[in-house]
Amino acid sequence: MARELVVSTTSGNDIYAIGRVLNGTNIGLWGNIDDGTLDTYVAADFAKYDIVMTELGDSGFYEADMPDVFDGERAIDIIFYTRAGGAPVEGDTKISGSTYELMDDWVATAVLAV
């Protein structure tokens, strides 16, 4: 699977996402992309949760692969942000969010208001 995460916003931004497990024994754990583990949320570790998004040309559409850290999970809450500075921080602007469910492939099943 590839490029399952997609968000649309203004072109030329620095966009990233973070993800949290919504079901099973790992419910509520956040995807630590730096070390490939699921962790309890820690504000000081916020930058470790970022999933880098790539813009398609100058379209304003940004995409990324679902990180391997979520393999084996059935539902993931993904929140998309615009990075204001050098590293992701809690105060970055939220763009939107989606719930992704694993069916045959990852599918966005709900859009969240942020």
Tell me the per-residue pLDDT of 33-59, one tens digit each, with 9 for 90 and over: 999 999 999 999 999 999 999 999 999
pLDDT value for 73: 86
pLDDT value for 89: 96
User: Alpha-carbon distance 35 to 15, whole Å?
Assistant: 21
User: How many beta carbons lie within 10 A of that of residue 51, not counting itself?
Assistant: 23
- The torsion angle over the Cα atoms of residues 48, 77, 20 and 75, rounded to 10 degrees, is -130
pLDDT value for 16: 97
Convert the pLDDT of each residue in 61-110 to its tens digit.
Answer: 999 998 989 988 888 999 999 999 999 999 999 999 988 887 766 666 65
Q: Tell me the whole-structure pTM to 2 decimals.
A: 0.88
User: Alpha-carbon distance 102 to 114, whole Å?
Assistant: 23
pLDDT value for 102: 75
How many Å separate Cα 75 from the centre of its chain? 12
| Structural domain that includes position 69 | 5-112
Number of separate domains in the chain = 1
